[in-house]
Chain A
Amino acid sequence: MRDRIDLERDVRRFLADNFPLGKDATALSGTDSLLEAGVIDSTGVLELVGFLEDHYSISISDEELLPENLDSVDTIVQFLQRKL
């Protein structure tokens, strides 16, 4: 299992590099909904899923495309810990 701190750093860096509202990583709590907070939109979800699949060499199925897996920094990290 990958280290949680490393995974969170990678996810936050991806958000900061690609989405203006993700730049202020300190303002984004681990539990904030990325969609509700306006950090990412539907295209952003596409980018996020593409990043996770490419960066970690994983495949995310349609059944896994759920808010409880992908809608906050914490859920993404937990999802990755289960997948990796």
Chain B
Amino acid sequence: MDIPFLLRLDPKRAAEEISAGLRAAVEGLGRRGGVLGLSGGIDSAVVAALCGRGLGGARVLALLMPEEDSEPESLELGRAAAEACGIEWLVEDIAPILRAAGCYERRDRAIRGVVPEYGPGWRAKIVLPPLLGSDRLRLWELVVQPPGGEPERVRLKAASYLEIVAATNLKQRTRKLLEYTHADRLGYAVIGTPNRLEYDQGFFVKGGDGAADVKPIAHLYKSQVYQLAEELGVPEAIRTRPPTTDTYSLPQGQDEFYFSVGYETLDLCLYARDHGLPAGDVASPAGLSVEDVERVFRDIDRKRVATAYLHAPPVLLDSTGSASSA
């Protein structure tokens, strides 16, 4: 089974089909255009280009929404992505909203609960230990770096971890709030940017980047998003940038915070899991042992169970108190 071959797209055809489907979906919702957040990463750049093709550049608004912990290059790359596909864009600096909501203060207070000396000039991120090569249970760790010092890792207590994540999730929720504000103003739909790995594995914030009216690339594996990016003329600087969360003050790869392996490997494993293929079929193309592929399979299954709540629609109760989903 040649899984890398099976993950190959006909990018020209896919771009045409998705942009046409996007136009039909937006029209079906009775909206006249689309709003999206543009992060400077590959997924939102591809969705921006698909929106430009499907809806027309004048009917698409991209929001660039930096905050205190954003890499400066993210803003430049977001602008480059918007200009490459000829869509409207504007900058909404969300740092003042986040300060007013206590995002940074709540996060820093939670970090000081673990590292009391943490203060101005320090940087931090949350990481998971590696998955491959060991069956060790993986506990969230905080990495802190004092000004001019070396990074230190500290195991987190559950309450501190949840406080930090809850505070940080204000970033994704604030961005979505602004996307819907502009969507209301313009009569547009909000276009989401998750790829298949993020959507399937629950790598999104409920009511934040998980909220959207249309999610046009949620069926695409990450390597397919890259194939589409080339076809759509996404700037090379975005296509060659390693995936990052751009959420914490220390640089944080998606594969150290949430995914257990790099996207190329996870694409192969997720494809195999989705199609009932044995670990042995993936081991060679992924360059992993069969045992490690089985570890990734288990991690995929556990994340699906753990994040089912994020996908769940609201539960409605009838007059007898019985539950039914919206």
Q: Mark A41-84, 1 if CB is under 8 A from B, else 0.
A: 11101110110000000000011011100110000000000000
Beta-carbon nearest neighbor of A49 in chain B: B139
Q: Mark B294-326, 1 if CB is under 8 A from A, else 0.
A: 000000001001100000000000000000000
* Known A43-B161, A50-B158; contact A35-B302, beta-carbon cutoff 8 A: yes
Would A45 and B135 count as touching, CB distance under 8 A?
no
Would A71 and B162 count as touching, CB distance under 8 A?
no
* Known A35-B302, A46-B156; contact A67-B161, beta-carbon cutoff 8 A: no
A43–B135 alpha-carbon span in the complex (Å): 17
Interchain CB contact (< 8 A) of B158 among A35, A46, A62, A65: A46
Would B137 and A67 count as touching, CB distance under 8 A?
yes
Q: Smallest Cβ distance from B315 to chain A, in angstroms?
A: 14
Complex interface residues of chain A between 9 and 55 (CB less than 8 A to chain B): 35, 38, 41-43, 45-47, 49-50
Would B137 and A70 count as touching, CB distance under 8 A?
yes
Chain B's interface: helix, strand, loop or mixed, by majority?
Answer: loop
Inter-chain contacts of B139 with A (CB < 8 A): 42, 45-46, 49, 65
Would B135 and A67 count as touching, CB distance under 8 A?
yes
Q: Mark B137-179, 1 if CB is under 8 A from A, else 0.
A: 1111000000000000001111101100000000000000000
Complex interface residues of chain B between 112 and 147 (CB less than 8 A to chain A): 128-129, 135-140
Inter-chain contacts of A49 with B (CB < 8 A): 137, 139
* Known A43-B161, A43-B162, A50-B158; contact A65-B136, beta-carbon cutoff 8 A: yes
Beta-carbon nearest neighbor of A45 in chain B: B137
Inter-chain contacts of A35 with B (CB < 8 A): 302
Would A41 and B302 count as touching, CB distance under 8 A?
yes
Binding site for B on A (CB under 8 A): 35, 38, 41-43, 45-47, 49-50, 62-63, 65-67, 70-71
For the complex with contacts A42-B140, A46-B158, A66-B136, 5 further pairs of A-B residues with Cβ separation under 8 Å are A42-B139, A46-B156, A46-B161, A49-B139, A65-B139
